[in-house]
Structures are given as C-alpha cells and as structure tokens.
Amino acid sequence: MIIGTWLFTKMRGELVGTDAEGNRYFQDKRVVAGTRRKRWVMYNGVAEASRVPPEWHGWLHHMLADPPPAGGAPRKPWQKDHQPNLTGTDLAYRPPGHTLSTGEKPKPPYEAWRPG
Amino acid sequence: MPKVKIDGVELEVPAGITVLQACELAGLEIPRFCYHDRLSIAGNCRMCLVEVKPGPPKPQASCALPVADKQEIFTQTPTVQKARKGVMEFLLINHPLDCPICDQGGECDLQDQAMAYGFDRSRYHENKRAVPDKELGPLVKTSMNRCIHCTRCIRFATEVAGVEQLGATGRGESMEVTTYVEQALATELSGNLVDLCPVGALTSKPYAFEARSWELTKTESVDVLDALGSNIRIDTRGAQVMRVLPRLNDDVNEEWISDKTRHAIDGLRHQRLDRPYVRKGNKLVEATWDEAFGAIAAKLNGMEGSKIAAIAGDQCDAESMIALKDLLTALGSPNIDCRQDGAKLDGPRGSYIFNPGVRGIDQADAILLVGTNPRAESPVLNARIRKRYVHGNVAIASIGPAEDLTYPVVRLGAGPATLRDLVDGKLDFAQKLQGAKHPLIIVGMGALSREDGAAVLAMARELAEKLNAVREDWNGFAVLHTAAARVGGLDLGLVPGEGGRDVAGILEGCQKKEIEAVFLLAADEIDTTKLGKAFVIYQGHHGDAGAHRADVILPGAAYTEKPGIYVNTEGRVQVGRRAGYPPGDAREDWAILRALSERLGKTLPYDTLHQVRSRLVAVNKVFAAIDQQAPAAWGPFGKAGATTDVPFKSAVANFYMTCPISRASKIMADCMASRSHLMAAE
C-alpha cells in the first residue's frame, strides 16, 4: 500500500463497497459540479490490476454509474469465476513441450521405425 | 530484328515474339492470368491489355499480338489502366471473397493483381455463380467457384502431360472446367496443375490447410526420387517438410516435377530410423552410437578384406559414397558396387550418361527407346520427349515394353533380337535413323540390368557408331538411369575392384560364406534373403528391407536433411542443400562413416564437408563443374556376346513406389490405388 494513496483515501475517500476478495472501492467525497468523481481501489494484498472482477472494473472505469449491488452482480449460470492473471506465478499457462509443463509431451513430427 | 518503342524506350527484339514478351525484355511486367511461357497462347483472360500504335484505337491483348517493326507500345497509359481495372472487376464478379480460407492465399496471382487493379467495392448485387467441385484424384483439390477460366490447366494436360482429359463445357458464365466423365487424371504430372492455376481453384490435396506460404522456410535443392535430378524448392516449417515445388531449370526439368517428387515427402515422416540398433540374440535392440560402432569394430577387426563387401543404394549422395569407398579400400576390400539392379555399366563416362543432355532431346530428329518406359522412369523427361513430338518432324520407335507414353511410338519389337535386326539394317526404322541428322538412342535399365546387359550395351554402341550418332557436334547415345545415385557412384568408381565382386557376386558369396560382412549404404533394392548368415550393417534413413535384415543399424539422413552432391542421368553435378535436420540421433551419412572409420582404426582423411568435397574433386574432376553438362569420353564398352530371347521389361514396374521414401508414403499408396482403379475401369 502506497502511503500517498492511503493518506488520500483517509482524507478524501468515501467507501463504496468491497468485492469478494476484500478489495475496497472508494470514490471522492467531494462533488464538484461539471466534473466526475474520482474512483479508486485499495487492494487487499498485492496491487495487481487483474484482481479487480469485471463488475467492479466497469464501475471503476466509469462504464457503470452505480456500483454492483452488495453480494455481487446477478450472475448467469454459464459465467465462470473471475481469475486474475497468473503470468509469472507457478500456476501460469505453459504450452505443451515447455520444460516446466506437466502432462503429455507433444509427439515428434515423425513416426519412428521399430523393429518388429 | 524488329525495332519497337516501349513506353518511349526504343528496343530491338527478336522477330516472332509477342508484345508481352517484348515488354518483358524491356523489364516491364505485364499482368496476366492465361498466358504462360510454356503453354500455347489462349488470350482469353484479357488482363495483359496494352495500347499499340499503329493499330485499332482500343487496347490490345499483348500476349496474343506479335511484335512488328516500328511498333509503339504503351503499357501505363490511363486507357490501359482503366481497361485492366475493368477486366479485373469482371473477373471478380464471380470470384468468391474467400481469400482467408483459400490455400492459394498469399501466393495468388489474382490476389496480387487485385492489389494493383482491383476496385475497393463491388457494384454487383446479384448472387455469385456456384459451380460444383470436380474430383481430379488424390493430389488435386478443386474449388471450382474460384475458377477464372484461364484454361491453363486444360492446355497443360493436353499439351505437356498428353492426357486429353480436361476440357471446358458451356460458354460464358456457364463455362466449367471439367473432366467430362468424373475420373482421376491419368498423368504423373498432375501436381503441376496446382502450380499453374493462377487462383485457388486447383490446390494441393495433401497440403490442404497445412501451412501458409509465408510461414515456410524455402531451401533450394535437388530431387533424388528419379534419376533426372529435378531442381526443387523444399518448403519446411520447423523440422517438417511441408511441400516440394519445382525450381526453374530449362536444362533439366523446365518448371515441372513429377507427382512422386512432389508428394512422396510424407514418406519422410514415416518409418524413420532415429536411433542405432544392434542385434542381440535374435532381436534388434536400441543402442548408443558407441555400442553400435563397438559391435561393428568387434566383428570387422582382424577380418580379411576380401570377406567384407559394400553395396551403395540408389539415393546416396556422392559424399557418403566416396567415404564408403575409401573405408572399404582402407579395409582392403575390392567388393564394392553401386549397381543394385545389376546394370552392366562400368565403361568410360560416355557409356553411362545421357550424353546429349535433356536439352538434346529438343534437337533429336529420330528417337529410339531401348528397354525403357520413360513415362514411369522419369515422367518429366518423358514430357520433354513429348514436347519434341508436339514440335513435329520426329520419328519415335521403341524396343521393349508396349506402354502408352502419351505420344505415338512405333513398337519395333520386344527384345535384343529386334535390336540386332536394327543394327543390321533389316528394319524400316533403320533407314529413318540412318537419315536422321541427330539420332537419339535412349537405353534404359530394363535393357542393361539383365544377364545379357553387356551384350545389349555393346549392340547399342554398335548402332550408335554405325549411325554416326557419336561425332564432334552430337552425341546421341543416352542412358536413362532409374537411380539418382548411379551416375555419381560410377563416376566415383563404386564398382568392383580387381578380383572384387559385384552385387550378384556379393550375394552369392554370402550364401557360400565367402563374404562375412556386408555394409549396405541405404541399399534396399536387393534380395535381402540372399544375404545368408553374413553380418549386415545397414546405414540409411528408413526401416525398409535392409533394416529388417540388418545386424547393426546406423541411422542416416534423407535427401532433405543433408547437404549432398548428386549426379543426374545426364552427368550433371548438382548440389542439394539441407532443409532440416535428421530425426533423433540420426546423422549425416559421410560423418557416420568418418566416425566409424576412426573406431576401425582406419581414420578417413577428412573432417569437414569441404574436405570431403575436395576429395570428390580429387577422385573425379567432374565434381568441380557444378550444374554443367557435356557429352563425355567415348571408348570401347560393353561386351559383344550372345543374347537371350527374353523381352525387355521396364526397370520401374510401379512409378509411385520405387524407393524407401515413396514406399513409406501414404499419398503414393493413394495414388497407386486411384491409378489401378482407373486401369480397372478401362
């Protein structure tokens, strides 16, 4: 957590809500006519932008006027849980054939003769 | 020579050429679809319009207009541009907009030229024309909606391939290119249709949706699947050979290649030897290089030289053959042979090459085929003979198998007796040959790889000398080989030395236990059951006949996987280049032999490819002259003697399967099935 942002949040922030991961979302206390209110997020843990779920992402970027309702936005049965970007972690995707990937190795591009 | 002015630049051009060719001489590229250098002129696509003065006040199709003296040609005027744009718009009325899913995408003439002359939107609201796809066999995929009716395929099939199966029905918008009766094309050159098609109407079936042209690495190399040594371009993606395309060489293959050359490459992905094996007990067991060499050394060390023999295969590069020969010499063995089929060839160079060269066929005015079926043995060379026939004024006769060669051939007889009659001047054709200025005698392996081969060869020489076919300005004695390595092997002297045994002698020796170790360098065309109890070392790239019998297997490289020098049937030395690496533990062949020689304590005196090639030149100077062809030294050869009555057979019974690579190819098997289906229908 950056001290400047923490101080700014203390002085000017108004808590709007919290997502399932515990990230807290704030907006500017003051309302200035003709400008839109600043919105920001205080991460619960590592500051990693991809941890913001899509419904809060929409609000944060002023695509949605209202924050998602408490308890999360209504979900369709086919929607999957939000997953942050895993690049750089142990769980990152590795193509088959990568030295660190598990599972089946790709076959060589030729079929070898074996004595019968 | 007429003088013309092209876009204001004056130029003197040869008489009798077309305006389009004159523009090309001036360095200008004229857009075209139907015009092709090696086909007759159709003049139906109208893309090559130019303005010509003096002439009618409208643009002219330059491909069909002969140049005349004092002509003024304009290729860039607004009228020309507008006319070409109009033609392009008409062509695109019915051409589908499916470039993203079209295999021709990226190498399509229409796509390229639409960039220059295309209109960026359509002014037509009607539905596009729909044409049923045609079935042209296992190699050519059709998508006839894309056809722009340039008729190149029809002209190729009729003129070059000599099969009048393709044609057009209907007129105007209803025109369709079709085979009339649905059937596969009965030609060994059908792959060239795909190259000729300027759009994606005819595409390669085995290559369909495999790769895009810009993903491929292009390597210029030489083909080894027949003895012609067609110039090819190998396109690879990663380790995989994706396709083979012809490379232009007017002296060898013009711009055609046979279906085997083009499509047998899937055989390079099957049945590959990728690790050494050593026979333990009755089983071949995987081994390391060290173990394999150890097993050979244990067997050969101390063995008498005369008990060791080596046979070189049909697709070996010259480098590996010289390494084999040097190794055998070091081991003190004279038993080496490169003529698996037992051809009786070992005289002066003039006795075993195609002396007049492929270009010589164009000059010949009487052609005699002896014991050969060029259509199966080398389809591209056969197309060259057909080209000569189409040009007119040539008499062609054959002694040997009666086959449809795509041009009329007078069949004089079947066996050596007929050749004798011809030499004695008893047949009518003898007069024709006598009267010819450039008589050409093509002798095939069918006539030479038999018991009385030497006598037949002597008769052919007698005939050539009697006809005065071998003289200062013309050598009409031509041997058509079936193996890409044969001329190279003979040039390097891979024939039995003093007291040595040839292939038949080696096999006989194996059975009599006089030969105890045999080295097979990719030699699969011999009868391996006759190897008896001998210790067999097989070095090659495919698990074929030789590998099954072997006691030690050394995995080598196929022709796309090693740099190598090959000498084609004309005696032309050509350099093949490496397009990829051999699979697994396999290595380049000469390097394997070099490493083995060290283990045997007879280290060969070369460590780099350059040194091996210097050795080649030291053995035979012809290897210094790359891509050159000339008639070679003439001298006495052959052995006059009694001949049998057995008729000549073609050395290639089945065009599609002649070598380990083509035998491992599924596509070649499909072609064979389709061809036999066709034969059965007839």
Each residue of A11-32: pLDDT tens digit? 999 999 999 889 999 999 999 9
Confidence of residue B492 (pLDDT cuts 50, 70, 90): very high
CA distance B279 to chain A (A): 10
User: pTM of the predicted model, to two decimals?
Assistant: 0.88
Complex-level ipTM beyond the 0.85 threshold: no
**Regarding beta strands B176-178 and B167-169, do their DSSP bridges make them parallel or antiparallel, or are they unpaired?**
antiparallel
**Is A22 inside any structural domain?**
yes
CA distance B275 to chain A (A): 9
Half-sphere exposure of B437 (CA within 13 A, CB side): 9
- How far apart CA B651 and CA B525 sit, in angstroms, is 12
**Is A25 inside any structural domain?**
yes
Question: Shortest CB distance from B272 goes to which of A113, A115, A116?
Answer: A113
Decide if pLDDT at B466 tops 90: yes
Return the pLDDT at B682.
Answer: 67
Picking from B15, B142, B154, the residue whose alpha carbon sits closest to that of residue B71 is: B15
**Is A21 inside any structural domain?**
yes
> Does the beta-carbon distance from A110 to B268 stay under 8 Å?
yes
**Is A17 inside any structural domain?**
yes
Report yes or no: A106 at the B interface, CB cutoff 8 Å.
no
**Is A65 inside any structural domain?**
no
Picking from B146, B139, B132, the residue whose alpha carbon sits closest to that of residue B102 is: B146
pLDDT per residue over B585-612, tens digit each?
999 999 999 999 999 999 999 999 999 9
- What are the tokens at B668? 């070649």
Decide if pLDDT at B13 tops 80: yes
- How far apart CA B117 and CA B112 sit, in angstroms, is 9
- Residues of A within 8 A of B270 (CB-CB) are 110-111
Domain containing A24 equals 3-60
> Does the beta-carbon distance from A112 to B272 stay under 8 Å?
yes
Return the pLDDT at A1.
Answer: 63
**Is A92 inside any structural domain?**
no
pLDDT per residue over B151-206, tens digit each?
999 999 999 999 999 999 999 889 999 998 888 889 999 999 999 999 999 999 99
Return the pLDDT at B181.
Answer: 86
pLDDT per residue over A31-84, tens digit each?
999 999 999 999 998 888 999 999 899 999 999 999 998 877 788 899 888 888
Confidence of residue B678 (pLDDT cuts 50, 70, 90): confident
Return the pLDDT at B121.
Answer: 87
Return the pLDDT at A52.
Answer: 93
pLDDT per residue over B421-445, tens digit each?
999 999 999 999 999 999 999 999 9
Q: Calculate mean pLDDT across residues B59-70.
A: 94
Confidence of residue A102 (pLDDT cuts 50, 70, 90): confident
What one-character-per-residue DSSP string does B537-582 give?
EEEESB-SHHHHH-SEEEE---TTSS-EEEE-TT--EEEE---SPP
Q: Are B216 and B233 in contact (CB under 8 A)?
A: no
Number of structural domains (chain A) is 1
Mean pLDDT (chain A) is: 89
Decide if pLDDT at B410 tops 90: yes
pLDDT per residue over B245-276, tens digit each?
999 999 999 999 999 999 999 999 999 999 99
- Residues of A within 8 A of B273 (CB-CB) are 112-113
Return the pLDDT at A89.
Answer: 85
Mean pLDDT (chain B) is: 94
> Does the beta-carbon distance from B269 to A109 stay under 8 Å?
yes
Return the pLDDT at B239.
Answer: 86
- How far apart CA B463 and CA B426 sit, in angstroms, is 12
**Is A67 inside any structural domain?**
no
Helices within B364-413 (DSSP H only): 374-377, 379-391
pLDDT per residue over B305-356, tens digit each?
999 999 999 999 999 999 999 999 999 999 999 999 999 998 899 999 999 9
**Is A70 inside any structural domain?**
no
Return the pLDDT at A2.
Answer: 80
Half-sphere exposure of B656 (CA within 13 A, CB side): 21
Confidence of residue B113 (pLDDT cuts 50, 70, 90): very high
